[in-house]
A and B are shown apart, each in its own frame.
Chain A
C-alpha cells in the first residue's frame, strides 16, 4: 500500500494579536510544531503500512524550516518525505494551497491512499483535504473515525454524522481526512530520529511541477483576498464584580437569580 500523508508546520503558540493602538499583528516567539491533527493521519498511515505492507511518504508545503516536521515524521516511522518550498507558493488561500499540494503529489508519483488531518490549528478551515481530492479526481471521505477493513481494491471506513455512523466502502485511490482519536499517535523514536539525522530531504519548487504557470499558485492563484485584518470586536457591556472571591461569587449568584437562571 502506497500511502501519502499531508502534514503542515503550524505556530506552536496561538498568541498572535493585533495591537489595538497600531493595528499591527504581534506574534510572540517563533516556535513551531507539526499540526497536532496531522499526527493522527500519520499514525493511521504507519499502522496501515505495518499491517498491509507498503510505504509511507509525507509531504509538506512551507518555508525551508518546515523540514523539521518531516524529520519528526521520520522519527515516528515515515519512510520518505518531501517539501514543497517556493516563495511563489506564498500567500496561497485554500484553492491555491490545494492546487500546489495536488501538483506536488502528482510529482511524487501514484498513491493508493492520501491521508490528511481533519484541519490545521492555524488556518482551521478543514477545506484543503477535500479540495486536494477534487484536483486529483479521486473520491474522499472526511471525518473518518475508524478503519474497518482494507482489501486490494478498497477500504471500509466509518464516518461519524451527528445522528448516525455511516459505514462507507471507498475505492482506491482515495483521500481520507481522519478525526482525532482514530489512533493514539506514537511518540517519536530516538533510534529512528538518529537514523534520520543528516538524511537529505528533497525540496521541490514550482519549476518541478507539471503546471508551471505561476498564475495558478500563491497569492496570484488565490481567488480569495484578505482585504483587512483587525482585532476581534469586544463586548462593551462588561460588568466586573469587585471584592474577594466569596463576595464575587455571592454577587454572581444574585445576578444569576435576577436573570432567572436559578
Chain B
C-alpha cells in the first residue's frame, strides 16, 4: 500500500480553521468534514504541526526491508576534475567529509576517475583522506555520462560507503542523479548544511524546499549510500598539509563497461570569463531596479569598490543581464567579502546562494523585505537617492585618502 493521510474528523473541532494548516490550499470542508484534495504535496504539515495533534495521521504500510547500516562504512567524495585539474569544491567536500566521518569513526574516501591523473592523486594525499581510489583509463579522459556512472557504480558496490558527497558543478549535477537512480537511493541537491547522526549514521541534509522561504531537514533513513550535492563556496575547504597521507588504490574496470553513446567531438576553450564566483565584492541588482539603464549606477559602484555586478532571477528574466551573473539556486553560489544587494527582496532561492558572504549590505525601500533578516547593514530608502550619494561619498573618501598618501 502506498502512503496515505487519514483525517480523524472526531478530533477536529473547528474544520474551517483547521484547513488553514495546509500551505498548498489542498484541504476543503465538505459537509463539516475536512477533505484532502489531489493537490496535496504530502508536506505533512497537517500531520506534524496541526493542533489538535493526531487529527491527520500518516499511514504508511510499506514493508521496509531491514537495512544493515553497519555494512556501509565511510564518507566518500567525488573528485571533480578536468584534465587533472581538481575543482576547488572537492577540497571543500573533503573538509566536510572529515567532519562527518569523525562523528561516526569512519574513514574518508575520495573517488578519482579520469585519464593520466597520477599527479592529481598525489595532490589529494595532502588533504588527510584515508583512501584515494583511482580509475585511470583513456575512455575516462573526458566526462561522459555512461562510463562515469559505470565507474561510480562499481566503486559503490565494492566499497559500500555510507555517504557520498558530490560537488554541484556542471558534471556533478548530472552524474550524481544518474548514480543515485542506478543505486535506487536518495539524493539531496544543493545542500547548505550537512551533519551526521552519530547513532543512526543518517546524514542530516538541509536545503531550501517547497519553492518558498522554507528550509527542509531531509534524511535518507532506509537506503544506502546517502547522496548529497553541495555547491562550490558553501563549505570550508580542508587545509593543504605538507606531509603526505592516504593510500592510493589503483582500480581497473572492464572496457566493456565503459561504452558510451555520446561522443565528445570537440572541446572549445572559452575566454576565461570573469565569473561572479571569484569576485571579492559584488553589487547585486534586484527587482527594485526598474530600468535597464539604471544598472549603470551599480556598475559605477562596483568599479569604485573593485567588484562586479550580479543580479537576481527577475533581472535575468527581463533579459537585462546574462544568466551567468545570476546569484541563487537557479544561478551561482557566491561567497564574496562584501555583497551589496540593491532592490533585492531576499527570496530564499537567492539567499541560499549568497548568505555565506562576509559582509552583507541591503538597500531596499520596503522595511519588511526579507533581505534585511540576512543583512549585516540595512539601509531603508530610495535606492535612487542612496546610490548617487554613496558613489559621491566614496569618491570623496578616496580623494581624501589619496591626498593623505600624497598620491594624485
Contact = CB atoms under 8 A, between A and B. Distances in A.
A30 interface: yes
Nearest to B337: A261
Contact of A214 (B2, B48, B380): B2
Interface in B251-299: 260-270, 272, 275, 281
Given A127-B187, A161-B82, A169 B214 contact: no
A38 B350 CA distance: 20
A239 B360 CA distance: 11
Contacts of A139: 145-146, 260-262
A150 interface: no
A168 B211 contact: no
Per DSSP, chain A at the interface is: mixed
A29 B205 CA distance: 29
Nearest to A66: B39
A174 B262 contact: yes
B378 interface: yes
B300 to A, nearest CB: 14
B393 A14 contact: no
Given A165-B268, A249-B393, A253-B394, A141 B145 contact: yes
Nearest to B268: A165
Contacts of A11: 211-212
A126 B264 contact: no
A24 B49 contact: yes
Given A167-B265, A230-B215, A26 B379 contact: no
Contacts of A119: 330
B374 interface: yes
A144 B88 CA distance: 24
Interface in A154-198: 156, 159-171, 174, 177, 179-181
A216 B282 CA distance: 45
B383 to A, nearest CB: 9
A54 interface: no
Q: Which of under 10, 10 to 19, 20 to 34, or 35 or more describes the interface residues of B?
A: 35 or more
Given A90-B40, A164-B269, A238 B376 contact: yes
Interface in B338-377: 338, 347-349, 351-352, 355, 359-361, 372-377
A58 to B, nearest CB: 20
Contacts of A217: 2
A24 B21 contact: yes
Interface string A208-238: 0000001101111111111111111111011
Interface string A9-39: 0110011111000111111001000001100
Given A88-B2, A223-B186, A168 B264 contact: yes
B181 A224 contact: no
Contacts, number: 340
Contacts of A135: 181
B378 A164 contact: no
Interface residues of A, number: 111
B210 interface: yes
A261 B264 CA distance: 45
B239 interface: no
A128 B204 CA distance: 21
Interface string A235-250: 1011111001110111
A27 B210 CA distance: 10
A226 B184 contact: no
Contact of B219 (A62, A180, A224, A256): A224
Interface string A94-122: 11001000000000000000000011111
Interface of A: 10-11, 14-18, 22-27, 30, 36-37, 62-65, 85, 87-88, 90-91, 93-95, 98, 118-131, 133-135, 138-143, 156, 159-171, 174, 177, 179-181, 214-215, 217-235, 237-241, 244-246, 248-250, 252-253, 255-257, 259, 261-262
Instruction: Report, nearest first, the 7 A-B pairs whose CB atoms are least far apart.
Output: A16-B212, A91-B42, A122-B211, A25-B23, A223-B186, A245-B385, A253-B393
28 contacts: A14-B347, A14-B349, A25-B45, A25-B212, A119-B330, A121-B330, A122-B211, A124-B329, A125-B190, A134-B149, A138-B261, A139-B146, A159-B170, A164-B270, A165-B270, A167-B268, A169-B263, A169-B264, A171-B262, A180-B316, A219-B2, A224-B186, A224-B205, A227-B204, A235-B375, A246-B385, A250-B389, A253-B390
Given A122-B211, A123-B211, 4 more contacts: A16-B23, A87-B38, A127-B176, A163-B82
